[in-house]
Amino acid sequence: MTDRIITLLIVDDHPVVRDGLRGMFASDPGFDVLGEAAGGVEAVELAQRLDPDVVLMDLRMPAGGGVQAIAELARRGTRAKVLVLTTYDTDSDTIPAIEAGATGYLLKDAPRGELFTAVRAAAEGRTVLSPAIASRLVSAVRNPAVPAAKVLSAREREVLELVARGTSNREIARELFISEATVKTHLTHLYGKLGVKDRAAAVAVAYDRGILG
Amino acid sequence: MTDRIITLLIVDDHPVVRDGLRGMFASDPGFDVLGEAAGGVEAVELAQRLDPDVVLMDLRMPAGGGVQAIAELARRGTRAKVLVLTTYDTDSDTIPAIEAGATGYLLKDAPRGELFTAVRAAAEGRTVLSPAIASRLVSAVRNPAVPAAKVLSAREREVLELVARGTSNREIARELFISEATVKTHLTHLYGKLGVKDRAAAVAVAYDRGILG
DNA sequence: AGGAGCATCAGCCGATCGGCTGATGGAGGG
DNA sequence: CCCTCCATCAGCCGATCGGCTGATGCTCCT
């Protein structure tokens, strides 16, 4: 199993990164890069057509988000294992990506050897995590997961976005065609979810968690 | 001038990106990659020792910021032209980097050909900017340059940081050993500088500009 | 000497916010 | 069918905020 050739699909919006990865894997006869995609939508399509063992996937892409692409692949029952390869260990998409079905999660600054090992592991279905990611995961699991009790609803996010622009409650109400009372309700709720007491702190926390910005 | 071999130094904290760039330039006999650095400090040192024509520099790096490295190179009168190669067109370091002495500014998703052209241009001392960056620059210049009228004082930043944590004016006053009236004065001033009307928007703008977060 | 910018303070007042209590209807899961 | 979550709305009230006007002392630069 370990000595079979592993086929790959590379998904990243940066040509430079795609080149780097392709070059890396080309130098090892144990791998075969079947194709490249620059966005999530294209990735899903190519994954179906080329049927690679492993998909190396960047998360932040203009043309179709990585997380959605992973979810879509899972929904279609694609055989390929998805190995997320991203720049940020602070990425707020870490947990969603894994929930969506990613087999592993590596940072781009991982050394070559680690990458190769990770791809082989992923091909066999084993989970691989960067140490930084792993530690974030365990702490995320330790803390009651933040299980949805802290996920803002779509409406709450809308309100929060307007708050970040300096919009008053009354103006928000007009903007969203709801009453001021409802705006205040949404605010009270999202304060609770974000663990803050006022709008300024809510905006700060939202930026820290990647909800805004 | 155009047909001399151009020597390069690659600076990026990601091995993958360094590989990608090295591979790209290796394929063209007109370029010679002298070395690689993973951080700003190392970059300055290598630039002095290797004396490349062009330094390809990432901005966001853990080991020594790119902007500081550029400034340091300029201070030392290094011959090398610095071509910033970054991921973000929203990067708040754009203008500082150019002020620090960068010859050009490209986004990583630029196609190969553009990169080659840009490096040759940079080697000749010509300025190269990604379209997105260029447009940001002109607008930055059109607006009176943000001339210091919009730079927060140290005290104002302190107040703003506390605001972002949800601290009330009274608490901020206690925290900083000043009166509540003074806190309000600082706030009024920084609202003016940031072009906002309330604390929530101030926090948002501060995050956008990299003042907070 | 004078101006600009910063940090400090005062008082007043209307606008806005946030907490509290309580309620309704719709959607989705068990 | 019941429960939960979401979105919607109401009214009350004290706390907080932001604008306005005006003032002092300090430092740095011209």
Per-residue pLDDT at B146: 37
The one-letter amino acid code at A24 reads M
Search chain B and give the residue with CA nearest A107. B14
Instruction: Indicate whether B10 pLDDT > 90.
Output: yes
Cα pseudo-dihedral A32, A38, A44, A46, rounded to 10? -40
Q: What average pLDDT does this structure show over A80-92?
A: 72
Per-residue pLDDT at A145: 36
- Chain A and chain B share a number of CB contacts under 8 A equal to 113
Instruction: Indicate whether B143 pLDDT > 50.
Output: no
At A25-55, the pLDDT tens digits run 988 899 999 999 988 888 888 888 899 999 9
B198 contacts A108? CB cut-off 8 A: no
Residues of chain A contacting residue B24, judged by C-beta atoms under 8 Å apart: 16, 19
- A172 has a chain B CB within 8 A of its CB: no
How many angstroms separate the CA atoms of A19 and A39, rounded?
A: 15
Per-residue pLDDT at B101: 72
Mean pLDDT of chain A: 81
Q: What percent of chain A has pLDDT over 70?
A: 79
Q: What is the DSSP letter of A84?
A: E
> In chain B, positions 47-86, which contact chain A (CB-CB < 8 Å)?
none
Q: What average pLDDT does this structure show over B28-47?
A: 88
Q: How confident is the model at residue B148 (pLDDT cuts 50, 70, 90)?
A: very low
Q: Which residue is nearest to nucleotide C19 (CA to C1')?
A: A188
The nt closest to A152 (CA vs C1′) is D6
At A179-209, the pLDDT tens digits run 999 999 999 989 988 889 999 999 999 998 8
Of B59 and A99, the one with more pLDDT: B59
Instruction: Indicate whether B17 pLDDT > 60.
Output: yes
Q: How confident is the model at residue A138 (pLDDT cuts 50, 70, 90)?
A: very low
Per-residue pLDDT at B147: 39
Instruction: Indicate whether A86 pLDDT > 60.
Output: yes
- B33 has a chain A CB within 8 A of its CB: no
Residues of chain B contacting residue A212, judged by C-beta atoms under 8 Å apart: 204, 207
- A200 has a chain B CB within 8 A of its CB: yes
- A196 has a chain B CB within 8 A of its CB: yes
Instruction: Indicate whether B37 pLDDT > 50.
Output: yes
Residues of chain B contacting residue A20, judged by C-beta atoms under 8 Å apart: 16-21, 23
Q: Which residue is nearest to nucleotide C8 (CA to C1')?
A: B182
Of A106 and B90, the one with more pLDDT: A106
- B6 has a chain A CB within 8 A of its CB: no
Per-residue pLDDT at A105: 81
Q: If you average pLDDT over each of A93-97, B1-5, B76-80, which comes out highest?
A: B76-80
Q: What percent of chain A has pLDDT over 90?
A: 29
- DSSP bridge pairs for A129: A105
Q: What are the distances in angstroms from CA A53 to CA A12, B90, B160?
A: 17, 35, 50
Q: What are the distances in angstroms from CA B114 to CA A152, B14, B120, B130, B174?
A: 42, 21, 10, 9, 56
Percent of residues in chain B assigned helix, strand, coil, to nearest 5: 50, 15, 35
Pairing of strands B54-57, B6-11: parallel
How many angstroms separate the CA atoms of B38 and B14, rounded?
A: 7
Distance from CA of B23 to the nearest CA of A (A): 7
Per-residue pLDDT at B201: 93
